[in-house]
Amino acid sequence: MNDNTFFGHLSSKRIAEIIDKAEGPICYAGPGVQCEPALAMVSAAGRLGPEMLTVWIDFDERVMRMGYGDIKAVNLLRGAGITVQHATGLRSAVIIADGQGYTFTPTPLYLEAEPGDGIRNALRLTREQVAEALARLSPAQKTIAAALALNPEEKDRIANLPAEGDSIPVDDAKFNQIDASLKEAPPVRFDVVRQVRVFEPYLQYVELSLTGAAIQRHRLAIPASIQKLGGSQEIEGRLRTTFDLIEKGGKLSSKPLEDDLNDIRKCFTPSLGKDHGRVVLKGAKPHLEKRLDAFRGSLEKYQEAVKENLQQTLDESRQQIIDYYLLQVVDNPPDALLGQLLHSDKPSDEDARRWLDRELAFVFPSAEALIKKMSLEVRYKDVTFETLNRADFLDSVKEAFPAVDWEKTYNEFKAAGEGRTEE
């Protein structure tokens, strides 16, 4: 850091350089520790002795999942005989070496890469602050700080400083517990997360589906007992082994609703291709939600209109099938009917009607059941790294939203994946 500036720059690389040059006590405190400074501390322990190093971190898996530190670094320190103190909730950071110290803002790699030279994230500590930090964080270094005091008053002040908060050494049990948790559910790759986050403010995948409304496409299977019977031209176009519940193009058709929803899809959720699906700009999402609310109102009105007429239409369709087969049943009664008669005479028209009605009752839905199934399904999904890295993704987005400057965003996306220090 430049002595003439108030703010300065510290990165893992720069911290490692400070530690490598140290000839006296070293103190590091922060949420976590990365591997590059840890390797420098291991080297310093071999050069100066592990007792000359003080290390405080918040040894918690959540901290490491945020990218404040690496468990590999902690393992390196412990393997070199350096005591690592666990201090819950530590988020500020300090590095002290050879009587000079800096406080700095550690970087959560989950959010951003470590800062470059132009990022000012550190402040130089005064000599008094350095002495106080050493005294509060380490009993051994407190003795050294007191010995280096310039006068008796400062020596007494240092000697009377209380220890800083509660901390406990990271023992084998604690280390193994955290290590097992991270192996069971490894942290995400921070470069990947950062890249995805570049596009998250802009895009979201969306699926719009109207279910249950297209009653004109509902078909029911004609019971096998009836299929065997045999014809009227009036309904032969609807009647095969299945039967259209209502006539296509009738007043109960949902086609106007479907056309409206397709218009919403076209205007607000353009497709990026069959391999990508549909997306919405998050800036346009409030407009989309407003249109969908209006569509839900139209759907409710449609349900009410259908409710008034559907049961009658279903009853008429059911009666058509009965009328269609009635003569065949009377002239050539199936065994399933004959087995239900109390007499041996030819079944009457009423016998045939009752039998046909019972058979159809098993397959004909009620109007209420059909109406209950009507709903608009809206599902949002965030972009993923795999999607963003498809070769045609950017071209597809450009074509879907030509007014947006995607080049700038994509350059940020690529930059977010650079400098993968966490690997």
Please, what is the Cα angle at 330 between 329 and 331, to 5 degrees?
Answer: 95
Which pLDDT does position 422 carry in this prediction?
40
Beta-carbon-side half-sphere exposure of residue 165 (alpha carbons within 13 Å): 13
Answer yes or no: is 421 within a domain.
Answer: no
Share of the chain above pLDDT 70, in %: 87
* Same structural domain, 148 and 245: no
Which pLDDT does position 175 carry in this prediction?
96
Which pLDDT does position 383 carry in this prediction?
86
* Same structural domain, 180 and 197: no
* Same structural domain, 149 and 218: no
Q: Which of 157, 187, 217 represents a domain boundary (last residue)?
A: 187
DSSP 95-124: EEETTEEEEE----TTTSPPP-TT---EEE
Which pLDDT does position 125 carry in this prediction?
92
CA distance 86 to 61: 12
Which tokens in the block code for residue 301?
């009105």
Q: Which domain holds residue 397?
A: 193-416
Is the Cβ–Cβ distance between 270 and 356 less than 8 Å? no
Which pLDDT does position 338 carry in this prediction?
81
* Same structural domain, 183 and 295: no
Which pLDDT does position 346 carry in this prediction?
83
Answer yes or no: is 385 within a domain.
Answer: yes
- The pLDDT tens digits for 144-158 are 777 767 778 777 777
Which tokens in the block code for residue 167?
């901390």
* Same structural domain, 126 and 44: yes
Domain CATH code at residue 128: 3.30.870
Answer yes or no: is 2 within a domain.
Answer: no
CA 402, 408, 412, 414 torsion: positive or negative? positive
* Same structural domain, 263 and 412: yes
Answer yes or no: is 235 within a domain.
Answer: yes
Answer yes or no: is 422 within a domain.
Answer: no
Which pLDDT does position 133 carry in this prediction?
85
* Same structural domain, 162 and 202: no
Please tell me the pTM assigned to this model.
0.62
What is the DSSP code (8-state) at residue 250? S
Q: Which residues of the chain have pLDDT under 70?
A: 1-4, 148, 160, 163, 213-220, 230-251, 370-372, 417-423
Please name the residues in contact with 55: beta carbons below 8 A apart, sequence gap of 6 or more: 27, 28, 29, 33, 41, 77, 82, 83, 84, 85
Answer yes or no: is 210 within a domain.
Answer: yes
Q: Which of 122, 156, 187 represents a domain boundary (last residue)?
A: 187
Answer yes or no: is 423 within a domain.
Answer: no
Q: Which of 71, 78, 10, 9 is nearest to 41 (CA)?
A: 78
CA distance 409 to 200: 11
* Same structural domain, 32 and 87: yes
Answer yes or no: is 165 within a domain.
Answer: yes
Beta-carbon-side half-sphere exposure of residue 409 (alpha carbons within 13 Å): 17
Which pLDDT does position 234 carry in this prediction?
47
Q: Which of 187, 211, 238 represents a domain boundary (last residue)?
A: 187
CA distance 247 to 250: 6
* Same structural domain, 46 and 125: yes
* Same structural domain, 183 and 199: no
Per DSSP, the chain holds a count of helices (H) and strands (E) of 18, 13
Cβ neighbourhood burial of 164 (10 Å; 0-12, 13-18, 19+): middle
* Same structural domain, 178 and 127: yes
Number of domains in the chain: 2
* Same structural domain, 90 and 116: yes
Which pLDDT does position 176 carry in this prediction?
96
